[in-house]
Structure 1
Amino acid sequence: MARILVTGSTDGIGLKTARDLQELGHDVVFHARSQERANALEGSPEGLAGKPEVLVADFGDLEQTRAMGRSAGAFDVVIHNAGIGGQPERVETGDGIERTFQVNVLAPYILTALMPRPQRLIYLTSGLESVGVANLGDLQYQSRLWHGMQAYSDSKLHDVALAFAVARLWPEVLSNAVDPGWIRTKLGGPNATDDLPEGAETQVWLATGDGDALVTGKYFKRRQELPANPAASDVQFQDGLLQACAQLTGVSL
């Protein structure tokens, strides 16, 4: 039995992933962005193995994210599932950071840096990482014209680069990225092409599997390794991204 943290696991792909892992007999810890969402999860145990253990932190708040990283404890596996989609307008958080970048990139970076190293790390990305732009000079769209879906695509490229950088720097940890597909969830929308079980399957396999699942520095969809955006494998880009994240968060990997 493994102890596994799934971020963003009060609904959608994250909740399905956590439930599937519980059904396999693992000790799963959930994460909610607010106490209200945690209470709702704890009050709706249908499909859950007992009352869930839930960590609470709003990833749009650096201090809450750092506090979770320092206090969460050790896990065998961490699945970085939490994220937000393309935003219609550029919005800065209370930390003065563009929200998509903070939630989708800085949050998994902070948790990776502050939590004890697990045996396996899984970072959720999107097929849109393929059109992400590796622009270290303007990660937060301070100069470029705002485009919500492009900012989202960029953030998903950053997540793959983070997974690959961790695989390179921490060879004892299995670190991989997963495209769950376009799933019919609140984030994916009603026009998405894939069903919820498909969106969780690969993460569960990488978190618990043997054989072909015991790899690192790879990008998967439906258990199949795919080529990622070439920028994600560029060591100079990886190091530049890590440096930018460290400067913004005060946390070094």
Structure 2
Amino acid sequence: MVLILVTGASSGLGYTTATALAEEGHDVVVHARTPARVTAPAGGGRWAGVVTGDLAETGEVPGLVRQTAAFGRFDTVIHNAGTMHTPEAATVNVIAPYLLTALMDKPSRLIYLSSSMHRGGSTSLARLADGTASYSDSKLWVTTLAMAVADRWEKTAAQAVDPGWVPTRMGGPGATDDLAAGHQTQVWLATHDDITPPTGGYWYHQRTQDPHPAAREPKFQDLLLHALEERTGVRLD
């Protein structure tokens, strides 16, 4: 049994991921933007706890970190929360995961939700500062963040996951991937030990793929981390 935080868990893939983990007997803390978005207190007894905070407002992230600290050190953090809307995409999809990664006690495992659309993202980090970043940009950058953490933190496994284009509220009814398979890789990575590679993988349906080449370039990783530090005032150790 492990202690797991899932962000953006009030609906969609976050909810199905959290539910599957809880049903396996793990202690799951779910994050939602507001208490009202959690339909039953503590998931009707399913959740180990609930934390809240609007990830589109960077000023709320430190408070969210304080809430998570009450549960102790997490074994796994799944950065699931996301949005497709500009200008919030960069804030929710990249800046918030960066801040949570930098400010929380280091877990044993970090899982970041990417997308196949990251391959169309831009390496122009000026878009991070001026609010023009697209969803594809943000997913390239969060994939790069995952690879950067994997390269820098020896005792923490960091993975990026493409859950597929699934018919959630964000994916829409025309999505062609299997909704039931959308959370299975995250659950597997969060709880199993026989993972190859043990860190730094880009996963789709429990198989590794090659991400955008920039995601694994040390120079671009350094540029991204510097840009995020400049944007937030917080350094990733």
* TM-score of the two chains, using structure 2 as the length reference: 0.93
Q: CA RMSD in A?
A: 1.7
SS at match of 2:78: strand
Residue of structure 2 equivalent to 1:62 = 58
Aligned residue identity for 1:126: S
SS at match of 2:77: strand
Question: Within the alignment, does 1:180 sit opposite 2:163 as a pair?
Answer: yes
Could you tell me how far apart the structure 1 residues matched to 2:151 and 2:5 are? Answer: 22
Aligned sequence identity (%): 45
Could you tell me how far apart the structure 2 residues matched to 1:229 and 1:8 are? Answer: 25
Aligned residue identity for 2:15: L
Q: Give how far 1:249 is off.
A: 1.4
Residue of structure 1 equivalent to 2:177 = 194
Residue of structure 2 equivalent to 1:109 = 98
Could you tell me how far apart the structure 2 residues matched to 1:20 and 1:37 are? Answer: 19
Question: Within the alignment, does 1:134 sit opposite 2:123 as a pair?
Answer: yes
Could you tell me how far apart the structure 2 residues matched to 1:50 and 1:114 are? Answer: 27
- For structure 1, the 5+ residue unaligned runs are 91-97
Cα deviations by residue, 1:7-59 (Å, 9 ceiling, x for unpaired):
00011000000010011110000000012113x242863xxx54651100000
After TM superposition, the runs of 4+ consecutive aligned structure 1 residues lying more than 4 A away are none
Residue of structure 1 equivalent to 2:78 = 79
Contact 2:6 2:80 survives alignment (8 Å): yes
Aligned residue identity for 1:81: N
Distance 1:214 1:236, change over 3 A: closer
Residue of structure 2 equivalent to 1:236 = 219
Contact 1:179 1:220 survives alignment (8 Å): yes
Could you tell me how far apart the structure 2 residues matched to 1:51 and 1:166 are? Answer: 28
Residue of structure 2 equivalent to 1:36 = 36
Residue of structure 1 equivalent to 2:151 = 168
SS at match of 1:139: helix
Number of aligned positions between the proteins: 233
Correspondences of 1:117-128 after superposition (within 5 Å): 117-128=106-117
Residue of structure 2 equivalent to 1:225 = 208
SS at match of 1:60: coil
Residue of structure 2 equivalent to 1:207 = 190
Q: Give how far 1:129 is off.
A: 0.8
Could you tell me how far apart the structure 1 residues matched to 2:214 and 2:189 are? Answer: 23
- For structure 2, the 5+ residue unaligned runs are none
Distance 1:247 1:25, change over 3 A: same
Could you tell me how far apart the structure 1 residues matched to 2:129 and 2:164 are? Answer: 25
